[in-house]
Amino acid sequence: MVRTEISLFLGNVPGELAKLTAMLEEAGVNIDALTIQDASEYVQTLFKARGKSLKRVAHAASYGSIKKDSADHALIRLLVENTDKVIDLLSQKGYLFDILPVIAIEIENRPGSLAKITRKFGEEGININYVYGSAIAGSQKALFVFSPEDIEMAARIFNEPDQQS
């Protein structure tokens, strides 16, 4: 199913994630999925992609400085149960964030389930930009979040009832 992922930058220092999650707790918002990475890798990838298209976001001399500064931040990607509420909260608190449609698929927690889903992406010629997910040992289900290059095609394919398990 298509969901809205929120990507935001947090300071890469102790306690920042605790502040964010406490804010969501106080608002009564549950987090369905979350991943964190050092923002410098994300920024470097962004600059490489923009460089290929010749649409640079900064002068070439600035790249090193921006990459160094981005290491001081973490890129958080999350799915929440009430996206609009969280967007309002983040806006009110001055967070830097973006939203992106993703495909969130609940799969059986057994060998081969993820292979079946990723195989389908490949068969349909849909590249996966990134994926994250998890299951609790012994749990029947797992949740995986995919960021495909072609969200519309992926949405058509994975909204078919027999494609989600």
Which pLDDT score is estimated for 73? 79
Question: Which range among 1-15, 33-47, 68-82, 105-119 has the greatest average pLDDT?
Answer: 105-119
Rounded mean pLDDT, 45-61: 52
Q: Is 101-163 in the same CATH topology as 2-100?
A: yes
Q: Is the pLDDT at 43 greater than 80, yes or no?
A: no
Find all residues with CB under 8 Å of 81, minimum gap 6, and list them: 29, 30, 32
- Residue-wise pLDDT tens digits, 68-112: 555 677 889 999 999 999 999 999 999 888 999 999 999 999 999
The domain locations on the chain are 2-100, 101-163
Which pLDDT score is estimated for 28? 97
Confirm if 122 and 150 have CB atoms less than 8 A apart.
no
Pick the CATH number of 2-100 from 1.10.150.20, 3.40.50.11810, 3.40.50.300, 3.30.2130.10: 3.30.2130.10
**What percent of the chain lies above the pLDDT cut of 90?**
62
Which pLDDT score is estimated for 103? 97
Confirm if 127 and 148 have CB atoms less than 8 A apart.
yes
Of the listed ranges 25-34, 73-82, 140-149, the one predicted with least confidence: 73-82
- pTM value? 0.78
The Cβ of residue 62 has, within 10 Å, a number of other Cβ atoms equal to 13
By three-state DSSP, how is residue 112 classified? coil
Q: Is the pLDDT at 23 greater than 90, yes or no?
A: yes
Which pLDDT score is estimated for 66? 53
For domain 101-163, the CATH superfamily is VC0802-like (3.30.2130.10)
Cβ density class 11-22: b for 16+ within 10 Å, e for less: ebeeeebeebee
